[in-house]
Structure 1
Amino acid sequence: MQLTSTQQRAMTWCLIAALVLLALWFLGPVLTPFVVAAVLAYALNPVVNKLDHLGHGKIPRVLSVVMVEAIFILIVISVLLLVVPIFAKELPLLREQLPQLVARLHNRLTPWLGQFGITMALDVATIKAFVGKYLSTNVEETLGSVMSSLKLGGSVALAVLGTLVLIPVALFFLLKDWDRFVAILVDLVPPKLRPSFDNFMEEADSVLGQYLRGQLLVMGVLSIYFSVGLALFGFDLAVPVGVFTGLAFFIPYLGFGLGLTLAMLAGMLQFGGLYGVLVVAGVYGVGQLVESLYLTPRLVGERIGLHPLVAIFSLLAFGQLLGFIGVLIALPTSAVLLVAIRRLRASYMLSKLYQG
């Protein structure tokens, strides 16, 4: 059967997409730092261009790239350091209070569950020994354990270290030559398809930009809300936990779960009872409702039209297929695919097949 030129082009693009997916599948660990750097370069390139514009060409692009990347790295380090006071303060408390909390929970639940014929038996002594062994407050012992783990899994540690070093290097070169790389890719598109390709990429770029700006607004608002909400109820670690939770919302649903876990732990250890759990449940419950019903729909969802169920499915599907890379590119890729689906739907609605 003779294929038309349109069918041949479609098959060619499908083959290219399949090859790209296979490359991501087999070369995932190798490509991880480059994909991370590419995503960061896409997000930071407008900032570099803004500096170039403000400098009227007098500031070399290399200097703009160095400034933007240095500020970004400082922000990342600052965010990571937010978690340090949480563990520095909570681990000693956890070692002291966790056995007591478990014993108290056991004493309260056992009679209540007994009414329903359910028997619960917790070995509090074993739990206390486990906590005392693995949650040592001795810094030297902790560092020794970490170093031993690094020696045992030296290849893993070396791979992680190499990735952390390679990401900023790749980011520098991508930002420095971003326009040139984009021009090379655009030149691969046949001239006849260039107008429709440029129109599609412009719309996709607009959707991605709206998604990133909306997500940053959501993260900022939630960081303030959780910090203030926990502080009003007397949490000592309100600001670190609140800011971490808000920023972790960049990874939908998983970020909320991490922040909730840290807040629950801080609440139980600080207040030693049900008060901390109820406060955290109330603050985080209201925050999740506000985020789900107002912030994300208004600031993110309405801008890109990505339903929450679609977001969850894309995270799970891309994560299953491509691992960490899949989670990283799931939502941006889904936003671009959404633009393609809209165009296909519009073409179908106008086609003779639909109109009969």
Structure 2
Amino acid sequence: MRASRLWVWFGVALVAVLFVFFLHTILTPFLIAMLLAYMFDPMVDRLEKVGLSRTWGTISVFALFTVILVALMVVLMPMLAKQLMKLYQLAPQVLDWLQNTALPWVQTKFGLSDGFWNFDKIKATISTHMGQAGDIAGVVLSRATASSLALVGFLVNLVLIPVVAFYLLRDWDILLAKIRGLLPRDREQQIVSLATECHDVLGAFVRGQLLVMLALGVIYSAGLMLLGLELGLLIGLLAGLASIVPYMGFIVGIGAALIAGLFQFGGDLYPMLGIVAVFMVGQALEGMVLTPLLVGDRIGLHPVAVIFAILAGGELFGFAGVLLALPVAAVIMVLVRHVHDLYKHSRAYKGDEEPEL
């Protein structure tokens, strides 16, 4: 009986993998909708506790999210478009600096041979296409309309995501109850306990670490823009995204900001010190305020596990695999922890019991 049950679970896992493999091209909007429903479920639960129905709580959360998203797009998109164009125009200057200053210093320092780099083709390509770029919005629109089918698919997904997310969020508790009702009766408590641990691990990352990333992006962007750095918003958001791995956002952000400041301020001491101060303050706030407040003492995913899961998921299943990577990694992390505990209590680890004296 136990062997047959194991085969059943193995068959279910195999069917799930095959399902994702063959349908990963159409799963993306549904997975994004599930992620949104998972993130916003606690907010709807709190609204239910104050007297709102599940439907009106879902509507309220969606209305708030929509207002915030539209406001961010109206304010940030034009600024990001201008900074992307500025970065595009700055690229040849950076290549010139690398070719004429930085790399010759490296060559002299390490005794490298002449001509081991060549940026002429790269600079020529960038300079050729700069005149054709024009407006970022125009480039994106022209690429999108190059294929009417791709444009229709994009618009369908854009409409499908909020619709699916709304229904999933409204019926989230009902769906969980039905799934629990399908569990084997003699293993229900054990499976629910494992699922709860997976939820704690994943929640510590999704609802904790992602909020830390958002807060750091705001802090870095605001600080760099106050210093007058032309690429401040772009670099700040990039540093916030890179903070998915601890210290990576600090390293990437301060490196990019110092290079941008070097070209904009000409190496002036005070703006460069201001850039360093912005990232030092952000790092201090992350360690002393943001992480303890938003993540707490919950056990999240290890940074190495996050990197490997995202890369493996993207390689196997594309963007759908990236979205599935963290939930799967959370489940595997919990299962490995339990297997480790079982091994520590097994005869294979302890060996034969020592005889009592």
TM-score w.r.t. the length of structure 2 is: 0.77
* Farther-moved stretch of structure 1 (143-152 vs 173-182): 143-152
* Farther-moved stretch of structure 1 (62-71 vs 203-212): 203-212
User: Measured at CA, do residues 99 and 292 of structure 1 come closer, stay the same or move farther in structure 2, by a change above 3 Å?
Assistant: same
CA offset digits 1:58-99 (Å, max 9, x no partner): x3322221221222233344455535303224515743x554
Q: Tell me if structure 1 keeps the 8 A contact 2:83–2:234.
A: no
Q: Tell me if structure 2 keeps the 8 A contact 1:101–1:272.
A: no
1:234 to 228, 232, 237: 228
The percent of aligned pairs where both chains have the same amino acid is: 33
Output the CA distance in 1 between the equivalents of 2:301 and 2:150. 36
User: Measured at CA, do residues 130 and 107 of structure 1 come closer, stay the same or move farther in structure 2, by a change above 3 Å?
Assistant: same
2:58 to 57, 61, 65: 65
1:340 is matched with 335
- Superposed CA RMSD: 4.0
2:306 to 307, 311, 334: 311
2:23 is matched with 27
Where does structure 1 lack aligned partners over 5 or more consecutive residues? none
User: Measured at CA, do residues 288 and 54 of structure 1 come closer, stay the same or move farther in structure 2, by a change above 3 Å?
Assistant: closer
User: Measured at CA, do residues 128 and 277 of structure 1 come closer, stay the same or move farther in structure 2, by a change above 3 Å?
Assistant: farther
Output the CA distance in 2 between the equivalents of 1:29 and 1:289. 38
Output the CA distance in 2 between the equivalents of 1:301 and 1:331. 19
Output the CA distance in 2 between the equivalents of 1:328 and 1:280. 37
CA offset digits 1:111-139 (Å, max 9, x no partner): 65785541366549x94674354355744
Output the CA distance in 1 between the equivalents of 2:3 and 2:312. 28
State the shift of 1:173 in Å.
Answer: 0.8
Q: Tell me if structure 2 keeps the 8 A contact 1:91–1:135.
A: no
2:200 to 199, 206, 210: 206
Q: Tell me if structure 1 keeps the 8 A contact 2:242–2:249.
A: yes
1:152 to 142, 146, 155: 146
Where does structure 2 lack aligned partners over 5 or more consecutive residues? 353-357
Output the CA distance in 2 between the equivalents of 1:78 and 1:65. 20
Output the CA distance in 2 between the equivalents of 1:143 and 1:240. 16
* Count of equivalent residues: 345
Which amino acid in the other structure matches residue 8 of structure 1? S
State the shift of 1:253 in Å.
Answer: 8.9
2:346 is matched with 351
Output the CA distance in 2 between the equivalents of 1:258 and 1:29. 32
Q: Tell me if structure 1 keeps the 8 A contact 2:32–2:161.
A: yes
2:355 is matched with none
Q: Tell me if structure 2 keeps the 8 A contact 1:94–1:269.
A: no
1:187 aligns with 2:176: no
Q: Tell me if structure 2 keeps the 8 A contact 1:222–1:287.
A: no
* Farther-moved stretch of structure 1 (334-343 vs 300-309): 300-309
1:11 is matched with 7
